């Protein structure tokens, strides 16, 4: 029996520290002061460093423009898939890992930020996050063509593709953002 409990606990620990994704737009904060450091968008991958009670310490890495304001974190230099927006103290506490110039001579900063989030706002099951988005895309797109697949385009193309069809599909700006986030995150994380 002890062996079974041990194996179950070990399995839980492996799941907890596997790839973790934010299940809804959420803030990370300093645990001592409760100061918000960043707002992370739905579906963003974070690295769980440790847990304490009902909270997890997570690390998020992302790229921002060197020029001010450089508070938005993107997936990769030149790939503007929105991961998070740093807030006040988060801008000061981020760790700069490196700078890199892209082929357009734009300078990018790789950032790392650590903060606490409620553990219940994390999942290792990426595909379960997107049920509403999948249904919505299928409903709105299938009247004219097959629903777009995340792997069918480069992640950075989705904002303009969805925007070009917004009027015909009756999409609001919120609908567009909803669809783009789903397609981009599915593309960059290859799920």
The encoded tokens of residue 121 equal 């706002």
Which residues have a Cβ under 8 Å from the Cβ of 19 and sit 6 or more positions away?
A: 45, 124, 126
What does the alpha-carbon distance between residue 95 and residue 113 come to, in Å, rounded to a whole number? 6
Asked whether residue 96 carries a pLDDT value surpassing 50, the answer given is yes
- Tokens for 162, please give them: 């969805």
Domain limits of the chain? 13-123, 126-188
In terms of Cα–Cα distance, which of 125, 139, 150, 128 is closest to 175?
139
- Rounded CA separation 34/37 (Å): 9
How do residues 47-95 score in pLDDT, each as one tens digit? Answer: 999 999 999 999 999 999 998 888 999 999 988 999 999 999 999 999 9
Nearest to 190 by CA among 154, 139, 136: 154
What is the share, in percent, of the chain residues with pLDDT greater than 70? 90
Predicted confidence (pLDDT) per residue in 2-47, tens digit: 554 443 444 444 445 578 999 999 999 998 889 999 999 999 999 9
Instruction: Please classify residue 1 by burial: count the beta carbons closer than 10 Å to its beta carbon, then call 0-12 exposed, 13-18 middle and 19+ buried.
Output: exposed
> Residue 167 has which token pair?
């009027």
Nearest to 28 by CA among 5, 2, 47, 3: 47
d(CA 2, CA 173) in angstroms, rounded, equals 54
CATH of 126-188, one of 1.10.760, 1.10.3470, 3.10.20, 1.20.120: 1.10.760
Q: What is the pLDDT of residue 17?
A: 55
User: Which among 111, 97, 110, 113 is positioned nearest to 36, based on CA atoms?
Assistant: 113
């Amino acid at each position: 029996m002890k062996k079974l409990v041990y194996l179950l606990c070990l399995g839980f620990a492996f799941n907890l520290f596997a790839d973790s994704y934010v299940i809804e737009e959420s803030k990370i904060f300093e645990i001592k002061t409760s100061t918000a450091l960043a707002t992370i968008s739905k579906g963003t991958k974070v690295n769980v460093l440790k847990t304490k009670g009902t909270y997890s310490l997570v690390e998020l890495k992302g790229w921002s423009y060197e020029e001010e304001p450089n508070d938005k974190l993107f997936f990769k230099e030149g790939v503007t898939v929105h991961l998070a927006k740093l807030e006040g103290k988060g801008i000061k506490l981020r760790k700069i890992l490196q700078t890199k110039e892209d082929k357009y001579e734009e300078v990018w900063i790789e950032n790392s930020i650590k903060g606490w989030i409620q553990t219940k706002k994390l999942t290792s099951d990426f595909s379960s996050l997107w049920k509403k988005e999948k249904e919505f895309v299928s409903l709105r797109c299938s009247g004219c063509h097959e629903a777009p697949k995340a792997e069918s385009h480069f992640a950075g193309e989705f904002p303009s593709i969805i925007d070009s069809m917004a009027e015909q599909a009756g999409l609001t700006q919120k609908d567009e953002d909803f669809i783009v986030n789903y397609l981009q995150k599915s593309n960059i994380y290859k799920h």
